[in-house]
Chains A and B, each alone.
Chain A
Amino acid sequence: MFYREAGDFNTSYAEDQQTFPIKFDRYRYYVVLFIAIVIIPFVINDYWANSLLLPFLIYAIAALGLNILVGYCGQVSLGTGGFMAVGAYSCYKFMTGVDIWWGGELLFRLPEFNIFFSIIMGGVMTAIVGVLFGLPSLRIKGFYLAVATLAAQFFLVWLFNRVAWFYNYSASGQISAPERELFGVLITGPSTPAWATYLFCLFFTVVCAIVARNMTRGAAGRKWMAIRDMDIAAEIIGVNPLRAKLTAFAVSSFFIGISGALFFAVYLGAVEVGEAFSITKSFLVLFMIIIGGLGSIFGSFAGAAFLVVLPVALKIVGVDWFGWPTDIVAHLQLVVVGGLIVIFLIAEPHGIAQLWRVAKEKLRLWPFPH
């Protein structure tokens, strides 16, 4: 009743294979985009941008990336934090001008990249590192691989912590983003307008979502899913398993790198690698896609939104309303998140995305039960 598809016919294969084959979904998508692009920038303020919208947009990109690898290609990775760090540090090096040394002498220094291209380079470098750590996936499977990706996590964090070149020899060992503009508007630095950082992140999120959708609905997505569902059968029908896995690692890491770069440059402004990109971050993004829905684009957004909102909501309820100490609320948060993971895995392994599908089904038939 509320959700209708009757009378909505697709008459060509092109129409049938578009992203939202049902008219109602399509219109809703346009409405959401309209609100996100046209309305929110006018009403946004620093609180909303920093506590909800920016983290949501940035984590959504990371979740999309991880979902491609885990949800679509079936290769579990616990190295997300480390890969985000690669994105962040690459972005930092490119925006401050990469310096190449040889034998104690400065060979040359690249010009400083525009912030937009620095972010892209963050993704590119991460894709390369991702492929490197994805190479063993041909031989190592299942949670052997999951554990193997921890090697990336620990090694990369150690690398950025110990090799001073990555943080431009700063005394604190931190990296902090200098002020950079795009079209004359400040994007990074301490005094950026909320609407600008929001739109900058939104652009990347929307483009990443569209790219992810395009890849997963076509040949690449089918290769990944075939590997996920039955790798041996996939190889026998003509999928090159190494290539399929490596493209998944590359695309996934590219997204995660973009997300790490934005997280550092636009959202936090300054990071210390052991704190910002620890293994906790890997688990956080993994939880987003489990709760949101493995193998679902919408689920990546839903999961990111859920886990960004949850701590804020718990803090408002626990600290502001009930006046509990913050450490108790923080511990409660662990209990709630851990409990939710277990509950979702038991009750709805396909996450919020599946709940949403079921709800749509119900709405379509309402008020009749069948």
Chain B
Amino acid sequence: MKDIAESYVTTDGRTIGPVVMEMKNITLRFGGVEAIKDISFNIREGEIRAIIGPNGAGKSSMLNVISGFYVPQEGEVWYKGARRPAMKPFEVARQGIARTFQNIALFEGMSVLDNVMTGRLTHMKTGLFAQSLWKGKAEAEEIENREVAEKIIDFLEIQAIRKTPVARLPYGLKKRVELARALAAEPSILLLDEPMAGMNVEEKEDMSRFILDVNDEFGTTIALIEHDMGVVMDLSDRVVVMDYGKKIGDGTPDDVRNNQDVIDAYLGVAHD
């Protein structure tokens, strides 16, 4: 186990930084149901961290804990070396944690550009009065943030649909717009909840390329949930495996692949 403050270089030459987020003994209950049971793991700076597990393992709940939407009954979340106090989701977002959703959660009544611009809201500070005048501060800020948003739009190759209402877009493009909205926040940690669910092979390849490029170019730390094992093994630096709310494996893709508990969870155990 490497020290949490230490950087290291992986076998394929990627530099992984120190731990940026650490989950300590997280337990989450809904009434009598324990969705997450005493799970600990960490996320290092610049890495792609995958969370995998069968359906109902508690992966999405875990992501919801990280983004502050669920408050765990027990355990601590440490972020950038300090314990995170109880926070509302929007405060978490302002700390630099952005995410996408399993069932696309775009703002259907708005254009693609406006959706991406909502991702910039955490960076926009002009008061209501200045906005009502527009000329001056509000306009300058708007243009400054529009430039960032346009860069992301270029990056994800969705220039042509900039002004299209999102409600009219096909599924694959919606997923990409959602990624754009999350990226527009220029997050320190990007959480992706099944970014490739329901996609065909080409779309998956596109999305994988985007995820790797984001990680490469912006150095964004990424935590993702994914069911496609091929994709997970190719993309991620380290993998957490969950089953029935418990952690049953944690390590590099190769470690996890050879872990007996993980194999049992996925293939089933012969009861003899």
Contact = CB atoms under 8 A, between A and B. Distances in A.
Contacts of A17: 139, 142-143, 146
Interface string A230-247: 101111111111000001
A222 interface: yes
B132 interface: yes
A229 B109 contact: yes
A288 to B, nearest CB: 20
B143 A237 contact: no
Contact of A230 (B69, B105, B114): B105
A251 B139 CA distance: 20
B110 interface: yes
A237 B131 contact: no
A223 interface: yes
A13 interface: yes
B133 A214 contact: yes
A222 B98 contact: no
B90 A239 contact: yes
A237 B118 contact: yes
B131 A236 contact: no
Given A17-B143, A235-B88, A214 B107 contact: no
A220 B126 CA distance: 9
B114 A233 contact: no
Contacts of A229: 106-110
B33 interface: no
Q: Most chain-B Cβ atoms within 10 A of its Cβ — which of A13, A214, A238, A251?
A: A238
A234 B122 CA distance: 11
B90 A240 contact: yes
Interface in A1-60: 12-14, 17
B90 A238 contact: yes
Contacts of A236: 67-69, 89-90, 92-93, 99, 105
A58 B92 CA distance: 43
A214 B131 contact: yes
8 contacts: A13-B142, A215-B132, A219-B142, A223-B118, A223-B121, A233-B105, A235-B90, A238-B93
Interface of A: 12-14, 17, 211, 214-215, 217-220, 222-223, 225-226, 228-230, 232-241, 247, 251, 295
Interface of B: 67-69, 88-90, 92-94, 98-99, 101, 105-110, 114, 117-119, 121-122, 124, 126, 128, 131-134, 138-139, 141-143, 146-147, 150, 181-182, 185
Given A211-B132, A219-B121, 20 more contacts: A14-B139, A14-B143, A17-B143, A218-B126, A219-B141, A219-B142, A222-B121, A225-B110, A226-B118, A226-B121, A233-B105, A235-B89, A236-B89, A236-B93, A236-B99, A237-B118, A238-B121, A240-B88, A241-B90, A247-B128
